[in-house]
């Protein structure tokens, strides 16, 4: 039996953005004439015990899966504190991508984040669930619940969102815009911020969030070593610094405390961040919120 060929004109499309070659776009600068913006995306996640989703150090057995639950909990008890110390060592800001359940489980962590002045980005209620499989009403409630918890603790609602497990439904950008979010991080299709269309003529900004410089796919999935992950960060930075001479770019580094907060990986991450910090005068080390604010109120991007 021959396979049916779908005409190109009939390929389903998300309708959120049009194709744009990065070599053919208008140019602009980041603050102070910089061309490379860099941010640390620190993911703080809390998981249900005995049910739901969760990253695995080893193939999970029957629930309760104590091995993998405890491995992930190491990040909130130990790893995050070591990472914050590391960021302080190099005077680096962070975008803290937080499950709202973190506020109830380990409020001391969010108090430390607050004292550093870091940005808080919405990351759902818990990484034990995905939002993309929910109906619109339940997904709207998930976004609202997570947003309200963060707003009550921080005194203001978050402006950015990353779905748990990078999960989106077909209406997630619409729901985020309607809830007051100005940017999202789920789409990894570019090295520049890109406007995305939302229903009723609105728009929301998509910021680059890495799936390569991200410790879960690199270390947990591809089994890269701590040294390989650090080398990836350094090589990516060096190349993007050269590329940014021609146009503004964004480089994110996605970190999870239960992975890179392990001591032997932390040491290699320190090596990578030391390399980047040595070029501080040539780059804009910032947060995702500051990048989004610059685009929303600055040069914009088609």
**Gap between the Cα atoms of 179 and 147, Å rounded:** 9
Domain ranges of the chain: 26-50+62-297
For residue 113, what are the CA distances in angstroms to 13, 95, 107, 119, 147? 39, 10, 10, 8, 17
**Gap between the Cα atoms of 161 and 220, Å rounded:** 23
What integer pLDDT is reported at residue 302 of this predicted model?
A: 44
Q: Which of 11-15, 56-60, 139-143, 201-205 has the lowest mean pLDDT?
A: 56-60
**Closest by alpha carbon to 141, among 165, 120, 166, 169?**
169
Query: Mean per-residue pLDDT for 197-202?
Result: 94
pTM over 0.95: no
CB 231 within 8 A of CB 238: no
**Gap between the Cα atoms of 52 and 130, Å rounded:** 9
Query: What tens digit of pLDDT does each residue of 232-281 get?
Result: 999 999 999 999 999 999 999 999 999 999 999 999 999 999 999 999 99
DSSP class of residue 301?
-
**Closest by alpha carbon to 171, among 128, 125, 133?**
133
pLDDT score of 31 more than 80: yes
What integer pLDDT is reported at residue 134 of this predicted model?
A: 97
**Closest by alpha carbon to 76, among 53, 52, 98?**
98
What integer pLDDT is reported at residue 288 of this predicted model?
A: 98
Q: Which residues contact 273 (CB under 8 A, 6 or more apart)?
A: 86, 90, 92, 233
Partner residues linked to 41 by β-bridges: 95, 254
- The DSSP bridge pattern shows strands 194-197 and 203-206 to be antiparallel
**Gap between the Cα atoms of 183 and 173, Å rounded:** 9
CB 219 within 8 A of CB 229: yes
User: Who wins on pLDDT, 8 or 163?
Assistant: 163
Query: What tens digit of pLDDT does each residue of 129-187 get?
Result: 999 999 999 999 999 999 999 999 999 999 999 999 999 999 999 999 999 999 999 99
Q: Environment class of residue 135 by beta-carbon count within 10 Å: exposed (0-12), middle (13-18) or buried (19+)?
A: exposed
Query: What tens digit of pLDDT does each residue of 85-135 get?
Result: 999 999 999 999 999 999 999 999 999 999 999 999 999 999 999 999 999
- Express as a percent the part of the chain with pLDDT over 90: 89
Query: What tens digit of pLDDT does each residue of 272-285 get?
Result: 999 999 999 999 99
**Gap between the Cα atoms of 160 and 124, Å rounded:** 11
Class of domain 26-50+62-297: alpha beta
pLDDT score of 8 more than 80: no
What integer pLDDT is reported at residue 60 of this predicted model?
A: 79
* Model confidence band, residue 50 (pLDDT cutoffs 50, 70, 90): confident
Q: 């910032």: which residue's tokens?
A: 286
């Amino acid at each position: 039996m021959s396979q049916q060929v779908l005409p190109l004109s009939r390929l389903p499309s998300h309708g959120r953005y049009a194709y744009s070659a990065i070599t053919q776009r208008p140019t602009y600068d980041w603050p102070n004439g910089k061309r490379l913006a860099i941010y640390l995306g620190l993911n703080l996640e809390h998981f249900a015990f005995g049910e739901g989703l969760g990253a695995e150090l080893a193939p999970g057995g029957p629930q309760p899966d104590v091995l993998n639950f405890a491995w992930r909990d190491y990040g909130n008890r130990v790893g995050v504190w070591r990472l914050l110390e590391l960021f302080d060592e190099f005077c680096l800001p962070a975008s803290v991508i937080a499950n709202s359940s973190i506020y109830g489980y380990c409020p001391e962590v969010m108090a430390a984040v607050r004292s550093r002045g870091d940005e808080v980005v919405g990351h759902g209620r818990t990484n034990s669930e995905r939002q993309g499989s929910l109906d619109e009403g339940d997904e709207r409630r998930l976004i609202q619940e997570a947003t309200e918890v963060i707003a009550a603790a921080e005194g203001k609602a978050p402006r950015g969102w990353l779905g748990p497990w990078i999960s989106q439904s077909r209406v997630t950008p619409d729901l985020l815009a309607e809830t007051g979010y100005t940017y999202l991080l789920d789409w990894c299709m570019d090295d520049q911020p890109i406007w995305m269309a939302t229903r009723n003529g609105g728009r929301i900004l998509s910021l680059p969030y890495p799936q390569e410089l991200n410790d879960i796919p690199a270390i947990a999935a591809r089994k890269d070593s701590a040294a390989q992950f650090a080398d990836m960060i350094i090589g990516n930075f060096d190349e993007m610094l050269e590329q940014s001479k021609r146009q503004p770019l964004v480089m994110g580094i996605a970190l999870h405390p239960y992975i890179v907060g392990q001591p032997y990986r932390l040491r290699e991450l320190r090596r990578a961040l030391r390399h980047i910090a040595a070029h501080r005068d040539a780059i804009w080390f910032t947060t995702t919120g500051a990048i989004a604010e610059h685009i929303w109120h600055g040069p914009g991007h088609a």
